[in-house]
């Protein structure tokens, strides 16, 4: 694909960076050595100077169909001209209903209700609220406890931070998090599972059985368990074999709702439309965002089985069933972007394309095993992680240094702690895989 027109784009050196407090960024470090993106097309980003950078992260795990898709641009433009905004409280517009119906068609059977949000963080808080409301509506209002997992990431709302298990995200706000929350242990076990290909072999049952210990401690007060099928934001931690199935069985045994956070794994990332289909394990609710609009316009959605929705459809007909929602829930422009995105996914079979690329992707990633300081490589679907040995007493991790070096060498890649995380757009080809891996090898070879 041709690079986007750069007419009128200012050089990075001419950008005043003083006013924007950037999210999840070491701002002083970044502004001393900025990495600026000004254009994108297909598999590539472009800098203001016109340098091509292959996107090995799908933006932030969201641009699954690649950048600059004209169908999405046209759909958004048409919708802005026809209906730029409509309230979702006691009003409706056609696209929200149409988009919900289309989403239900690609979801696993039985997930026939959708609640729209604007982000993954909002989707998580919404799912937690629905779980609590469901139990109360069924006469089990004593079920108020929520269970997350260590090293889990569920966004930055107070609900998501509370069930999340990333220490740095919680530390500053620890005294203000939700009460009645507990955590399962994370599933990362490099002593037994380092350099696993696909699902690790060891620990699945024992890690899941930790839920039984929490049930013994908290009794029938647990409302829901929320886990990411793959804990991507904390380093692409892949669950061991049998783990998801065991969690489902324990939740069933004790009347606990199981929530999958599919904000990253949804919409084709594992070679199936949703991770529940990859694992063959159905949750009761699952959260989405990111790939739902190919990252073009903010939108999220919570999918649930009809029985959960129906449990709240009681009482007087004129009564609001769930006192929850957002000004921009089901925004018409976002729904237009989502519908166009679904058209692309289905026409190009992107929701399942990862299955045909998974083995090549796996082999390419694991070819980096002999690079300096590599202590683990993980993969599942079109997700990858390269974990590097930590530096003793060093403020700058090897992974951060590698991320900077990769960008300068023409590859955009995420880093978290000591891990490089990969999740390229699902339109990637063999040549892109080769370029990503070859460049990574060169950069890692130059880091001490």
448 residues of the chain, pLDDT tens digit each: 566 665 556 677 789 999 999 999 999 999 999 999 999 999 999 999 999 999 999 999 999 999 999 999 999 999 999 999 999 999 999 999 999 999 999 999 999 999 999 999 999 999 999 999 999 999 999 999 999 999 999 999 999 999 999 999 998 898 899 999 999 999 999 999 999 999 999 999 999 999 999 999 999 999 999 999 999 999 999 999 999 999 999 999 999 999 999 999 999 999 999 999 999 999 999 999 999 999 999 999 999 999 999 999 999 999 999 999 999 999 999 999 999 999 999 999 999 999 999 999 999 999 999 999 999 999 999 999 999 999 988 777 899 999 999 999 999 999 999 999 999 999 999 999 999 999 999 999 999 8
Residues 28 and 86 in one domain: no
Domain range for residue 263? Answer: 71-347
Strand order in the sheet with 285-288: 113-117, 300-304, 285-288, 257-261, 222-227, 145-149, 181-184
Please give the model's pTM, rounded to 2 decimal places: 0.96
Q: How many domains does the chain have?
A: 2
Q: Is residue 84 part of a domain?
A: yes
Alpha helix positions (H), 138-186: 158-163, 167-171
From residue 398, how far is each of 35, 385, 401, 445 by CA, in Å? 18, 14, 5, 12
The pLDDT assigned to 175 comes to 84
The pLDDT assigned to 4 comes to 64
Residues 325 and 369 in one domain: no
Residues 341 and 428 in one domain: no
Residues 343 and 357 in one domain: no
Residues 81 and 26 in one domain: no
Residues 95 and 233 in one domain: yes
Helix (H) or strand (E) holding 47: none
Residues 56 and 100 in one domain: no
Residues 360 and 416 in one domain: yes
Q: How many residues does the structure list for the chain?
A: 448
Helix (H) or strand (E) holding 421: strand 419-422
The pLDDT assigned to 12 comes to 73
CATH number at residue 439: 3.90.1150.10
Q: Is residue 4 part of a domain?
A: no
Which of 332, 347, 362 is a domain's end point? 347
Per the structure block, which two tokens stand in for 262?
Answer: 């599919």
Residues 300 and 437 in one domain: no
The contacts found for 356-361 with CB under 8 angstroms, 24 or more apart, are 356/271, 357/271, 357/382, 357/428, 357/433, 358/271, 358/382, 360/430, 360/433, 361/433
Residues 275 and 361 in one domain: no
The pLDDT assigned to 14 comes to 85
Q: Is residue 7 part of a domain?
A: no
CATH number at residue 316: 3.40.640.10
The pLDDT assigned to 1 comes to 52
């Amino acid at each position: 694909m041709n690079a986007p027109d750069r007419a009128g784009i200012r050089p990075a050196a001419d950008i005043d960076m003083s006013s924007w407090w950037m999210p999840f960024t070491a701002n002083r470090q970044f502004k001393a050595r900025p990495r600026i993106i000004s254009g994108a097309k297909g598999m590539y980003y472009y800098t203001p100077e016109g340098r091509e950078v292959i996107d090995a992260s799908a933006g932030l795990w969201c641009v699954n169909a690649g950048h600059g898709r004209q169908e999405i641009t046209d759909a958004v433009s048409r919708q802005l001209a026809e209906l730029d905004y409509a309230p979702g409280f006691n009003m409706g517009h056609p696209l929200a209903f149409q988009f919900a119906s289309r989403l239900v068609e690609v979801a696993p059977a039985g997930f026939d209700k959708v609640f729209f949000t604007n982000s993954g963080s909002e989707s998580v808080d919404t799912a937690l609220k629905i779980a609590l409301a469901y139990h109360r509506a069924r006469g089990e209002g004593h079920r108020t406890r929520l269970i997350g997992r260590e090293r889990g990431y569920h966004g930055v709302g107070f609900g998501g931070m509370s069930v999340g298990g990333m220490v740095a995200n919680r530390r500053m706000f620890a005294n203000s998090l939700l009460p009645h929350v507990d955590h399962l242990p994370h599933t990362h076990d490099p002593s037994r599972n380092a350099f696993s290909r696909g699902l690790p072999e060891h620990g699945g049952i024992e890690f899941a059985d930790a839920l039984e210990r929490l049930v013994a401690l908290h009794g029938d007060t647990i409302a829901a368990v929320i886990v990411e099928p793959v804990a991507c934001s904390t380093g692409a931690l892949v669950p061991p074999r049998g783990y998801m199935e065991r969690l489902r069985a324990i939740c069933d045994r004790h009347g606990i709702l199981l929530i999958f956070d599919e904000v990253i794994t949804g919409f084709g990332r594992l070679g199936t439309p949703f991770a529940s289909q990859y694992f063959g394990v159905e949750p009761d609710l699952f959260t989405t965002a990111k790939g739902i609009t190919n990252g073009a316009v903010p939108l999220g959605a919570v999918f649930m089985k009809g029985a959960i929705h129906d449990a709240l459809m009681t009482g007087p007909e004129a009564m609001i069933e769930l006192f929850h929602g957002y000004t921009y829930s089901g925004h018409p422009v976002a729904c237009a972007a989502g519908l166009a995105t679904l058209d692309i996914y289905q026409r190009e079979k992107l929701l399942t394309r990862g299955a045909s690329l998974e083995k090549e992707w796996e082999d390419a990633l694991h070819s980096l095993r002999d690079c300096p300081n590599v202590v683990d490589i993980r993969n599942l679907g079109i997700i990858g992680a390269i974990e590097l040995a930590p530096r003793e007493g060093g403020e700058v991790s090897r992974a951060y240094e590698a991320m900077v070096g990769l960008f300068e060498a023409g590859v955009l890649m995420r880093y978290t702690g000591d891990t490089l995380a990969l999740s390229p757009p699902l339109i990637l080809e063999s040549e892109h895989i080769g370029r990503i891996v070859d460049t990574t090898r060169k950069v890692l070879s130059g880091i001490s």
